[in-house]
Amino acid sequence: MIEARGLSKRFLDKKRGEIRAVDNVSFTCQPGKIYGLLGANGAGKTTTLRMLATILEPTDGTAVVCGHDIVEQPEKVRANVGFLSTATALYRRLTAQEFVEYFGRLNGLDEATLKKRVDAIFIRLDMNGFRDRRCDKLSTGMQQKTSIARTLVHDPPVMIFDEPTGGLDVMTARTITAFIRECRNSGKTVIFSSHIMSEVEKLCDTIGIIQSGKLLVEGTLAQLRDKYAEHDLEEIFVKVVTPHFAAEEAN
């Protein structure tokens, strides 16, 4: 369960002054459902998800993840969250197994539990062929599996994916989307961001469209289709976002 309440993030930029990267965003993600944040580049998706993962601290507002406040108890929140993005790289000089074990230990697992978990995950993701290979010697697909294994090692109830398929080839991207579905089916709360319409259309139970840091519309795909009398998500997105683009240009 994730509950964002008036989440805001302002940055100070030397040239442009104050920037509202995320502006008073509230939404709820339920267990066993996938919430998709849809937005263009720079819309505020990454900042929102980084705040939920407590990598960044909100300027205003807060969120509650699994009963823990992200501002008050960031370490407890992180213990309940698996965070995966294209920017979360691997430690190149560790082997796949050492890498996953490192994050298991940081999550407070004792050695016996850790060994059981790692063995189970490596079998499930079919990673035993390269468990002792250094991460810099892995293919992109193997690297993605290793990243997934990292997010799973502490079996978190909440999964946060920030553009997880960005820059990946079709086959590797499918591994990720299959994994996201699996997370939902096992009852986890899933939130993920993307600017790829088809991905959001296929995966998400609830869609939130974000632009200029503001959450403009929220609903199931069916609700959005009804509201905007369009079938194609891309058309819906353009209808929602265009007036805001125009307003921004005018500024």
Partner 1 sequence: MSLRNVGIVYRKELTEAVRDRRTLISTILVPLLLFPVLSVGFGSLAVALVGKAKEETPKVMLRGGEDSPAVVEGLKKLDKIEIVPETPGWKDQIINKEIRAAVEIPAGFQADVAQQKSDTVKIFNYQGEMKSEFATDKIESYMKEYRDKVVKERLAAKNLAETVLKPFEVNRENVAPPEKVSGAAFGGIIGYMVILLCMTGAMYPAMDLTAGEKERGTMETILSSPISRMHLVLGKFFLILTAALGTAALSVLSMGVSFSVLGHYTSQSAGGRAAAAEFLLKLGPKTVISVFLMALPVAVLFSATLMTIALFAKTYKEAQSYLTPMTFLVIFPAIAAMLPGVELTPKLSLIPILNVSLLCKELVAGTYHWNYIAVIFASTCVYAAAALFIAIKMFQRESVLFRS
The whole-angstrom separation of Cα 151 and Cα 135 is: 16
Nearer to partner 1, 87 or 178 (CB): 87
Whose tokens are 């840091």? That residue is: 213
State in angstroms the smallest separation of the CB of 95 from partner 1.
10
Nearer to partner 1, 78 or 184 (CB): 78
State in angstroms the smallest separation of the CB of 113 from partner 1.
15
Binding site for partner 1 (CB under 8 A): 50, 53, 55-57, 75-76, 78-79, 81, 83, 85, 87-94, 98, 102-103, 105-108, 134, 150
The whole-angstrom separation of Cα 208 and Cα 144 is: 26
Which parts of 14-133 are beta strand (E)? 17-29, 34-38, 60-65, 68-69, 81-85
Nearer to partner 1, 102 or 228 (CB): 102
State in angstroms the smallest separation of the CB of 93 from partner 1.
4
Cα–Cα nearest to 156, from 102, 96, 78, 56: 78
State in angstroms the smallest separation of the CB of 126 from partner 1.
22
Nearer to partner 1, 9 or 206 (CB): 9
Nearer to partner 1, 71 or 79 (CB): 79
Q: Under a CB-based contact definition with an 8 Å cutoff, are residues 90 and 108 in contact?
A: no
Q: What order do you get walking across the sheet with 2-13 strand by strand?
A: 17-29, 2-13, 60-65, 68-69
The whole-angstrom separation of Cα 22 and Cα 151 is: 25
Q: Under a CB-based contact definition with an 8 Å cutoff, are residues 59 and 9 in contact?
A: yes
State in angstroms the smallest separation of the CB of 98 from partner 1.
7
Q: Say which residues have a Cβ less than 8 Å from residue 147's Cβ, sequence separation at least 6.
A: 84, 88, 90
State in angstroms the smallest separation of the CB of 226 from partner 1.
37
Nearer to partner 1, 35 or 103 (CB): 103
